[in-house]
Structure 1
């Protein structure tokens, strides 16, 4: 109790803004629609899970603090129900469509957010050839005049499917059975993949399968995830790869075999659920990444001063609110299930935890690029 009280006092200095909410069920989905709305969805098996479109409190939508506001909570704008766990959700830019993936992983579901009501309804499914019910397909979306859904459980099953016709427009065509941990569309023609082994690759769908990749992935083992900087962000290494024991590597996409730097993050233990590992680049800051999935914290790092030594680094900021605001009386602290950066507010992040808590926070940091 004393530690929690000390943190509450300290938080007045640490945060410019801090909002804590409680969802009806835990989510591993935080998907932005614009910069004022976010989708969340439950991931419990063997029950109906809500899919919600939430609007941020008005205070978080203005450029400057302007005193008190009557609406201090999230507002439900749309909602629907899924009969399956929702492990991933992607909004199709420029449309009112969503694509979800989850367990059992035998198909993807396509949803439509109603324009004249508050309903999110299922409109179609996309078959998954691999049909592994114990594994769910990773998903990303090509945004174009004819949107395409990129999905796959393993490298052998990677497909791009036209969302309207549901015809396959690209397939890896290989027998490689490596399991995927993440997929990320980069532009109209290219995407990145990360395998659980740490294997990374960049693929151009205008050509047959010939990815630029690291064929000798991380020798330290464990499970890995990765993210690539968005277009228009600052120069420098643009691939961040995170291992389940806290290893964090930065790579140049032109030479994925040799990390620009590789460091050890101070995590208390290896991730108790490596499926929840997440590393993200800050969209509005120079060279900041955030990591989660090891405990009830989100750690933010400034990577500008890193070198190739492989030593331990210290976070620029650590959000511990999910630990100290946990009032459920359990012996086990909550685990962060996902986090995301605000698209335009530089230091603002959203984070969700296994106790169904949802936090929006904007930290006060020291000088530097972050």
Structure 2
């Protein structure tokens, strides 16, 4: 088995850039503001959790290597405290507002980033009428002249609420109790939903509830839990759906009933916490996506690759830094809690783990040198 020392030596070849940081507490949130700032938030129970607005080290903000920089760490720009566990946080574009969701889940919280101080303060709440106990509302933001918050824990509770007036502008109006795993706004009028069962749908808010969807879970899933993400543009299928057992499905929005391709990712074990399952498309690369939530790694795949056995696919790159740089030395290795691609740098990602570590890494694509 590869040792930490071996990995450190190998990392000089594997990464164009690599930075490791420690937060005050573990986070499930990595939300960009521009391309130089990111929000993180704690999710521990029965304690106050920090919400922090961090800026990246200057070295990570330049287009090319310009020598040494005196500041090599994240800088805290703003901060605040929440009495709840924060499982999701969204920045409202072109505003100083944030919306958070977590447990207890009977409301969403709206926060404001102060202009004349370093404070992030709670300014109001948005009521959630679903009393679901352990379930919490998924959220997404419609950004427009009058921003709206899309939220719901189940399909039956899906609503769009005007952020300012708190009036409901859209509702599913159905009694379907399917549990949601993710929501994603696609444009001014449409959004996508994914249920934990693997059910996917695309919804046009200009019409009554009539989603284009795959009503039945994807074949071969074995009853696992699912998450999904839609790619804004690019060639080929643009919906990726990931199961907690490692099954990855690529779909075309014109025919959600039949996956274009289904492959088995070589994950070490089914996800120990499917709430942390995540699949994301690379915004700067046509055919790459990343997955996490199975162990202490983040795996990057080229969806056009045919490497590996039929029905299986091999990762283009695997980030193992959270495993080898874990210095606690007790118990199980940390679990990656979330990851995100940099909005401008094609092969740069941020990843966070259960040991409160955050890594920023730019992986080397060795295919480019072949």
Q: Which category of TM-score, normalised to the shorter sequence, fits these structures?
A: over 0.9
CA deviation vs aligned residue, 1:93-135 (integer Å, no higher than 9, x gap): 0100000000110100000001111000000000001122311
Gaps of 5+ in 2: none
Residue 22 (structure 2) aligns with: 22
Residue 273 (structure 2) aligns with: 273
CA deviation vs aligned residue, 1:259-318 (integer Å, no higher than 9, x gap): 0000000001100000000000000001100000000000000011359x9611100000
Residue 341 (structure 2) aligns with: 341
Equivalent position SS for 2:170: strand
Residue 83 (structure 2) aligns with: 83
Equivalent position SS for 2:156: helix
CA deviation vs aligned residue, 1:115-167 (integer Å, no higher than 9, x gap): 11100000000000112231110000000000000000000000000000000
Residue 61 (structure 1) aligns with: 61
How far did 1:325 drift? 0.2
Residue 150 (structure 1) aligns with: 150
Q: Distance in 2 between matches of 1:34 and 1:340?
A: 13
249-258 vs 213-222, which deviates more? Answer: 213-222
- Normalised by the length of structure 1, the TM-score is 0.97
Coordinate RMSD, CA, aligned: 1.4
Distance 1:144 1:2, change over 3 A: closer
Q: Is the 8 A contact 2:247 2:263 kept in 1?
A: yes
Q: Is the 8 A contact 1:107 1:131 kept in 2?
A: no
Match status 1:356 vs 2:350: no
Q: Is the 8 A contact 1:242 1:249 kept in 2?
A: yes
Q: Distance in 1 between matches of 2:235 and 2:314?
A: 23
Q: Is the 8 A contact 1:261 1:310 kept in 2?
A: no
How far did 1:218 drift? 1.7
Q: Is the 8 A contact 1:262 1:310 kept in 2?
A: no
Distance 1:107 1:4, change over 3 A: same
Q: Is the 8 A contact 2:198 2:216 kept in 1?
A: no
CA deviation vs aligned residue, 1:332-366 (integer Å, no higher than 9, x gap): 00000000000000000000000000000001112
- Normalised by the length of structure 2, the TM-score is 0.97
Equivalent position SS for 1:87: strand
How far did 1:216 drift? 1.7
CA deviation vs aligned residue, 1:53-101 (integer Å, no higher than 9, x gap): 0000000000001111000000000000000000000000010000000
Q: Distance in 2 between matches of 1:306 and 1:102?
A: 39
